[in-house]
Amino acid sequence: MKNIKYLFLVVAVALLASVSCDVLDEEIISGVTVDTHYGTPDGFEDAVNAAYERFRDFYGDEDGCEITVFGTDEYTNGGHGGAQYVNKYVAGLNGESSTFWDPWQRFYEGINTCNAVIGRAEEADIPDEKKKVMVAEVKFLRAHYYFLLVQFWGPVHLTLEETVGVETEATRAPESDIYDAIIADLEDAVADLPDTQSEFGRITKPAAQHGLALVYLTRGYQSYGQSSDFSDAADLAVDVIDNSGHTLLDDYQEIYNIADANGHLLHTNEQNNEILWSIQYDIDPLKNDEGNRTHVYFRCWYETFNDGLDRALGHGYGRPWIRFRPTPWLLENFRPLDVDARFEKSFATVWLYNTDRNIPAGAAVGDTAIIITDKAASEIDTAAMYARLPGVKIFTWNLTEIDQDWCLWRTDVSVNSPNINIFPVPWKIDDNLRSSLNATNGSRDFIVYRLGETYLVAAEAMLGRDGNASAAVQYINTLRERAAFDGKEAAMHVGAGEVDLDFILDEWSRECFGEQSRWLDLKRTGKLLERVKLHNPDAAPNIQDFHVLRPIPVNQITRTTNDFGQNPGY
């Protein structure tokens, strides 16, 4: 789909009064009306493509990252910018925040486009078989929009019909009804989608099966869940693993690597066989809009010392916005580091001098400028290191000697201190194909579903189904074998007695950290408060029971003439 420009076709209506102004202000594509355009083959295809588009306003976007990455056991805030109140669960986390309003309205805009496509499909002049697949794609997309809405906000407005005029009333449907609608759409999608599509990025049957498994898994924890939910989730996940044709890559690092064996940057490497569904971005700025901006959010301020380090492109380098800083727990969770290769294959921890400007005496371009280590201060021969690497800055994330001046996790640092702005940077967000060093509109695709996650869905569902990990452990061990350094596979094996829900969540983090799913994973499993209090020192003092739902945006409440209502606690 990289060659297809996403379009936002205007349905000359609004879903709700709360989104009507934004929708009606959009420019109509090519000066045609929707009524005349939808019925043509090109117009219907444009509409289907438009149904995908609003996910670009969530995956790889700052608001989407803030409400899924912040305030979890994995990530806390860095020293600069962003909606830090979302991480800290303090007063700014309320319905007036655009951090919640923007995803809310974009999801509903996407839903209304989906409703229009599904409702107008009969009039589209397209062969029936092709049309059936396109409608199935859009049913999956509508289900995913609603799945995000119900997880974040609980009871929300549910409509499966295109809105053809400004509506000022909206009611909140019970969560159980919303799940019924989601499941119905996904079951249709699974039935009608092909195993593969000619354009990478379009929804396929395996992606829909994975999505439906995740929905069943999530509903299985709820009071209104069905007795078969965990079993249905496990069956779907296993079918994807065994029969979809998708396979785990041999090397964990290759999932996210967009360079070939010679180091040449290639987008074709993003289309690997482990990916079930990814949001498509493009190197052409005319097709990319704001792009995938995760490459700035998770990046530390490596250039802050101004002594031989300039902003640059390359692994670990880039433009730093310093939004998301890993918690101590996230880094510790990868131990033992000489057995599990995922830390080494996930993070940049060394930066080299790249300019003579202000370079320390005795140092040269290419020497080590910054090292982040897991060693305790007492284990480091600092005199020898300084003699070998003049001017080097050493930071440790070992938690045993927190009082050292250069420990990343000192508790007395200010927001302007390097201690809060220097941290390991994930490789998976590197984007060195941008038009310039400071360009923010990255072109890396955003992976939403991949087979490694399907293994975790299967394991968690089996644990929920059986009450023990006897069946689940093989799926955990398959992932862990892939993650091991060569020759260490046996050391990565765990027994069924070692695997409980917390272990699966630990494994989920090692495999998929920072991928805009963690808040949802913790909320789904009922572990959000417990694990935030244990592992996120900035959020722990403030998180409360009601924070398992997000605040309804005030714009929604004030623009609805009936009483829409706010979530408890806000």
pLDDT tens digit sequence for 36-53: 677 788 999 999 999 999
Domain boundary among 408, 429, 450: 429
pLDDT tens digit sequence for 518-539: 999 999 999 999 999 999 999 9
The closest alpha carbon to 56, from 323, 431, 520, 445, belongs to 445
Return d(Cα 174, Cα 66) in angstroms, integer: 26
Report yes or no on 492 lying in a domain. no
Report yes or no on 455 lying in a domain. no
Domain boundary among 372, 398, 429: 429
Indicate the pLDDT class of residue 27, thresholds 50, 70 and 90: very low
Looking at the structure of the chain, the number of domains it has is 2
Domain boundary among 412, 429, 446: 429
Say yes or no: 423 and 535 in one domain: no
What percentage of the chain carries pLDDT values higher than 90?
A: 78
pLDDT tens digit sequence for 220-274: 999 999 999 999 999 999 999 999 999 999 999 999 988 766 666 666 678 999 9
* Contact present, 366 and 352 (Cβ < 8 Å): yes
The closest alpha carbon to 141, from 52, 23, 202, belongs to 52
* Contact present, 423 and 408 (Cβ < 8 Å): yes
pLDDT of residue 263: 61
Look at the block and give the residue holding tokens 């000489």.
Answer: 338
* Contact present, 174 and 153 (Cβ < 8 Å): no
Say yes or no: 533 and 424 in one domain: no
pLDDT of residue 413: 66
Return d(Cα 92, Cα 87) in angstroms, integer: 10
Report yes or no on 40 lying in a domain. yes
Look at the block and give the residue holding tokens 């397209």.
Answer: 126
Report yes or no on 476 lying in a domain. no
Report yes or no on 280 lying in a domain. no
Report yes or no on 442 lying in a domain. no
Say yes or no: 307 and 189 in one domain: no
The closest alpha carbon to 522, from 542, 551, 502, 497, belongs to 502
Which residues 6+ apart lie within 8 Å of 232 measured at CB? Answer: 213, 216
Residue 288, pLDDT above cutoff 90: no
The closest alpha carbon to 131, from 52, 6, 47, 212, belongs to 47
How many CB atoms neighbour CB 213 within 10 A?
28
Say yes or no: 73 and 178 in one domain: yes
Residue 568: which CATH number? 1.25.40.390
Say yes or no: 421 and 531 in one domain: no
* Contact present, 293 and 56 (Cβ < 8 Å): no
Say yes or no: 545 and 422 in one domain: no
Indicate the pLDDT class of residue 346, thresholds 50, 70 and 90: very high
pLDDT tens digit sequence for 360-376: 999 999 999 999 999 88
pLDDT of residue 405: 59
Say yes or no: 416 and 539 in one domain: no
Domain of residue 23, residue span: 1-193+525-570
Say yes or no: 42 and 179 in one domain: yes
Report yes or no on 235 lying in a domain. no
Return d(Cα 260, Cα 428) in angstroms, integer: 15
